[in-house]
Amino acid sequence: MNKPVRRIVAFIVLFALGAASGIGADRFWQSRVVTEPVRQTPSSMKPEPGADEEEPEPAAIVRTAVAIQGELQRTVEALGGAVVPPSASSIESWPTDVVVSRVLVQPGEIVAKDAPLVQVSVTRETETQAASAQLAVDSTAKSLELAQQRFERGLATRPEVLAAQVAHDEASQRLERLRAGLPPQDGVLRAHAQGIVGAMRAQAGSTVPAGTPILDIMSDAVVAQVGIDPADAAGIVVGQAFDVQPIDDRSGNHWVGTLSLMARAINPTTRLIDATLTLAGEALPRAGTPLRARAAFAGASGVLIPRAALVPDGDEMIVFVVRDGTAVRKTVTISQRGDEQVVLSGGCAPGDRVVVSG
């Protein structure tokens, strides 16, 4: 056979052997490529002479702050809302049974002192009791007069006169109590104080028993009811001033809140300590307005550094102090944390420049 024919025959034999052993032509050629040695880097990509020599590392760009000696104020923040104090609410009622004829106000209406609220009339039972009391007074007055005349004639004793006098006095006092409980001549019941009409407890045509609330009047005075975290309660005493503002402070309103009452126990529902702040200022918030109260207290003294300089390292806190152009690692002890600064009791000295970022 000539040379080309021999090459073709050899190729066919190799392909048949591969097929018999379960290896296809593509697998065969693939194994050849994978097992080829990795080519060396061309000379054009080799480093130039002297490139392997050490170059100076670039200096890191950092921001630093100077540690100073000072005192970090402790800020206490409490959330709550404006409420009407219980002592500022009044309940309008009447000492005797009355029938409501007309309701002259409506809930939410602002009323002044002595403003008309409802018009009422006495019940038939009250009228009967008053008439009976008047008859008793007249009867005892006549008995007393007869007893005195008989005593002057020697037909009665002094104890008999005294007994008649006591009976007359008791009847007169009962009549006075009933008359005091009667509505005014016009039947109009008026507000005892200025405020806002709250819940209406009686309607026109209803009978209201003696002493039963007819309506509520809420004072327009409000206080701030807030909850203080027990961890922040130390050092807060009655009389402490707070800066109070709405949580949604787009209005820009601020009020001075003076702590007037602070609970001695933790509220089991909120896990906070309930506190009441008396508000002062113009345009006090409406009842129900969510409020935020803040107060500043003297805190710990020591070395002050930015909080951003702290770096946690396991159970420790460290900072990096710049010394002669080099950042030196220092372990620090924190005595108080603030929102932006911390007080250190060890690890840094005033004047040290600590790394804040970079």
Q: What is the pLDDT of residue 8?
A: 56
Q: Confirm whether 348 is domain-assigned.
A: yes
pLDDT (tens place) for every residue of the chain, 358 residues total = 555 556 555 555 445 444 444 444 333 333 333 323 333 334 344 455 555 555 556 666 778 899 898 887 778 899 999 988 876 677 888 888 899 999 999 988 888 889 999 999 988 888 888 899 999 999 999 999 999 999 898 888 999 999 999 999 999 999 998 888 888 989 999 988 888 888 888 889 899 998 899 998 887 778 999 999 998 888 888 999 999 999 886 777 889 999 999 999 999 999 999 999 999 887 888 888 999 999 987 777 888 899 888 999 888 899 999 988 888 999 998 888 877 888 898 888 899 999 988 7
Pair 143, 121 in one domain: yes
Q: Which of 172, 192, 218 delimits the end of a domain?
A: 218
Range of the domain at 325: 63-72+300-357
Half-sphere exposure of 244 (CA within 13 A, CB side): 30
User: How many structural domains comprise the chain?
Assistant: 4
Residue 344, number of CB atoms within 10 A of its CB: 25
How far apart are alpha carbons 279 and 241 in whole angstroms? 10
String of DSSP letters for 248-292: SGGG---EEEEEEEE-SS--TTTSSEEEEEEEESSSPPPTT-EEE
Q: What's the pLDDT at 324?
A: 85
- Looking at residue 327, its pLDDT comes to 87
Is 54 a member of any domain?
A: no
Q: Does residue 172 sit in the same domain as residue 24?
A: no
CB atoms within 10 A of CB 19: 12
The pLDDT score that the predictor gives to residue 54 is: 58
Q: Output the CA torsion 316→346→356→64 (10° steps).
A: -150
pLDDT of residue 294: 93
Same domain (yes/no): 191, 269:
no
Is residue 231 one of the residues assigned to a domain? yes
Domain assignment present for 53: no
Contact 259, 276 (CB under 8 A): yes
Three-point CA angle 254, 256, 262, nearest 5°? 125
Residue 187 lies in a domain: yes
Q: At what angle do helices 124-152 and 158-180 cross, to 10 degrees?
A: 160
CATH of the domain at 155: 2.40.50.100
The per-residue b/e assignment along 2-17, b for 16 or more CB within 10 angstroms, e otherwise, is eeeeeeeeeeeeeeee
156/233 same-domain check: no
Task: Tell if the pTM clears 0.85, that is, is over it.
Answer: no
Same domain, 149 and 209: yes
Query: Does residue 144 lie in a domain region?
Result: yes
Asked if residue 315 and residue 256 are part of one domain, the reply reads no
Q: Do 213 and 101 belong to one domain?
A: yes
Kindly state whether residues 311 and 325 are assigned to the same domain: yes
| pLDDT, position 173 | 93
- Which of 218, 246, 276 is the last residue in one of the domains? 218
Domain co-membership, 272 together with 307: no
**What are the φ and ψ backbone dihedral angles of 135, each rounded to 5 degrees?**
-65, -40
Q: Can you read off the two tokens belonging to residue 327?
A: 């950042």
According to the model, what pLDDT value does residue 17 have?
47
Q: What confidence score (pLDDT) does residue 55 get?
A: 59
45 within a domain of the structure (yes/no): no
We report the CATH number of the domain holding residue 287 as: 2.40.30.170
